[in-house]
Amino acid sequence: MPRRTVGPPERGSAPGGGLDLLRVPVLGALLRRRRVGQFALLAVAAVLVIHGFLGPQLAPKNLATLAVWVHYRGLLVLALLVVGNVFCTACPIMLARDGLRRFVTPRFAWPRALRGKTPAVLLLVGVLFGYELWDWWGSPAATAGLIVGYFAAALLVDGLFTGASFCKSVCPIGQFNFAGSALSPFEVRAKDAAVCDGCSGHECLTGAPATPSAPAARGCEMGLFVPSKAGNMDCTFCMDCVRACPEDNVALASRAPGVELSEDVSGSGVGRLSGRRDLSLLALVFVFGALANAFGMVSPVYALQRTIAYALGTTSEAAVLGVLFTSLLVVEPVLLLGVAAWASRRAMPGRPSLTSVAARFVHGLVPLGVGVWAAHYGFHFLTGLWTIVPVAQSAAADTGFAFLGEPTWGLGGLTERAVQPIETGLLLLGWLGSLMVLHRIGTREAPGAARAATLPWAVLATLLFAAALWLMAQPMEMRGTFLDG
């Protein structure tokens, strides 16, 4: 398989003409020392849990609901677009996990039947469903409980099973990050392929023993071997490989965002995207879940929910949401992808199966999915940017520390009118990105008839883009239930 490197590094300069974030002063040091970020986010998580359980049970006045559903989500998506998967880097759960493993040695390998992304993708769907059904966004105690539950689940899984089982096969947020980081402008890779060619220790994968001058370093728990790693899938930016490499030959290097979606090279620990149905499923849920999640906050969804409830003769919100989620995440994708695959495969050599065609092209829709997530979460983040200030002031005052001053409740963020062009721009970028990636996939899969193979998918991407534009133009109506009020 082809190896992509960024060329031999020069001291103090970016390798291969690109940018190596690990060489950027301060930022590089922070990225190398993930514990700094992990301790910081652990402290934040502790504050959110305490305030979530014991603070005001009003979502806009509680740090748990505000920081998790407005700021964390927004910053996470923006970080994916600007840098990469840095929220996995600073994941405080891994700090707790590593602490646990000082006392508990996991004995079991993750069950073969549960390997791959399918269980985690189903959990991701479950999270999206639970978010709507139980209105986690409106309950500080539920949000705090969710944080505690997340820690408990991770510690249970990684206390029993070896490696990074939770990150690789369970964590729904991690899978979201892996899918979204395909569009990130940076990836971990070798600086110089020749250096890796001469390496016999493979420390980036297996770890490095302690030396008189350096402590032992862990190898990649996700099973990614740097010289043959391709893209950001399964990479948590943990920098274990950076610390383990005795040649300092690993960079966090700039690259063309989205390139891994169309290259289809067999990357270490991941394989080919086109050969992994579970990764295609992840891409599908990532894209259609973005639209479903945004649909949940606009007015028409409530009318639709009432219609479904009337048709079913039920007042069960779970039943109505079940129908809605099945429609948006199963029926709609199957129909749309099926039609696009049917139209596309006629131009493809060998007439592959519809499933095979859809599995290859669905990755081309990921940029649009990133655009929708960024527009949606960016809206909440930017319009509520400064609301964290008075809530933090109030929380500090409630604990007897008034050093933050009196709460200034009037603080908000950008106006909806100011954010709307940003939303549109993000959607536009996502749509254009999808068209480019789809064209590259079409060129790869049908070299003689790329245009004909790509056209149905370009039409689908355009339809989804139009749907996203329509969604963002709808009046927002954030409600806990559709059955009363």
Residue ranges binding another protein (CB under 8 A): 53-62, 65-66, 69-70, 137-138, 140-141, 299, 380-381, 383-384, 387, 393-394, 397-400, 402, 406-407, 409-413, 475-481, 484-485
- 3-class secondary-structure state, position 208: strand
When the beta carbons of 385 and 432 are compared against another protein, the nearer one is 385
What's 362's DSSP letter?
G
Closest approach of another protein to the CB of residue 138, in Å: 5
Closest approach of another protein to the CB of residue 133, in Å: 15
CA angle 147/71/154 to nearest 5° reads 25
When the beta carbons of 173 and 419 are compared against another protein, the nearer one is 419
When the beta carbons of 199 and 298 are compared against another protein, the nearer one is 298
CA 412 – CA 409 distance, rounded (Å) = 8
Closest approach of another protein to the CB of residue 478, in Å: 4
Letter for the amino acid at 214? A
What's 331's DSSP letter?
I
Q: Which regions of 143-199 does DSSP assign to beta strands (E)?
A: 186-190
When the beta carbons of 300 and 349 are compared against another protein, the nearer one is 300
CA 157 – CA 93 distance, rounded (Å) = 12
When the beta carbons of 2 and 475 are compared against another protein, the nearer one is 475
When the beta carbons of 54 and 100 are compared against another protein, the nearer one is 54
Closest approach of another protein to the CB of residue 408, in Å: 9
Closest approach of another protein to the CB of residue 70, in Å: 4
When the beta carbons of 62 and 85 are compared against another protein, the nearer one is 62
| Contact predicate 446/452, CB 8 Å | yes
Residue 117's H or E segment, with its range, is: none
When the beta carbons of 342 and 386 are compared against another protein, the nearer one is 386
Quickly tell me which residue has 């965002």 as its tokens.
257
Q: How is residue 63 written in tokens?
A: 């740090």
User: Facing residues of 214 across strands?
Assistant: 211
| Contact predicate 144/52, CB 8 Å | yes
Closest approach of another protein to the CB of residue 394, in Å: 5
Query: Residue 405 burial (CB < 10 Å; 0-12/13-18/19+)?
Result: exposed
Closest approach of another protein to the CB of residue 378, in Å: 12
Closest approach of another protein to the CB of residue 377, in Å: 11
Q: Residue 333: how many CB atoms within 10 A of its CB?
A: 21
Distance of CA 333 to the CA centre of its chain: 20
Letter for the amino acid at 381? F
Length of the chain, in residues: 485
When the beta carbons of 19 and 292 are compared against another protein, the nearer one is 292
When the beta carbons of 10 and 477 are compared against another protein, the nearer one is 477
- 3-class secondary-structure state, position 251: strand
Sign, Cα dihedral of 172, 176, 182, 188 = negative
CA 454 – CA 343 distance, rounded (Å) = 9
When the beta carbons of 62 and 268 are compared against another protein, the nearer one is 62
Closest approach of another protein to the CB of residue 54, in Å: 4
User: Facing residues of 208 across strands?
Assistant: 217
Contacts of 400 (CB under 8 A, 6+ apart): none
Closest approach of another protein to the CB of residue 130, in Å: 16
Q: Which regions of 180-268 does DSSP assign to beta strands (E)?
A: 186-190, 250-254
| Contact predicate 294/372, CB 8 Å | yes
Closest approach of another protein to the CB of residue 317, in Å: 14
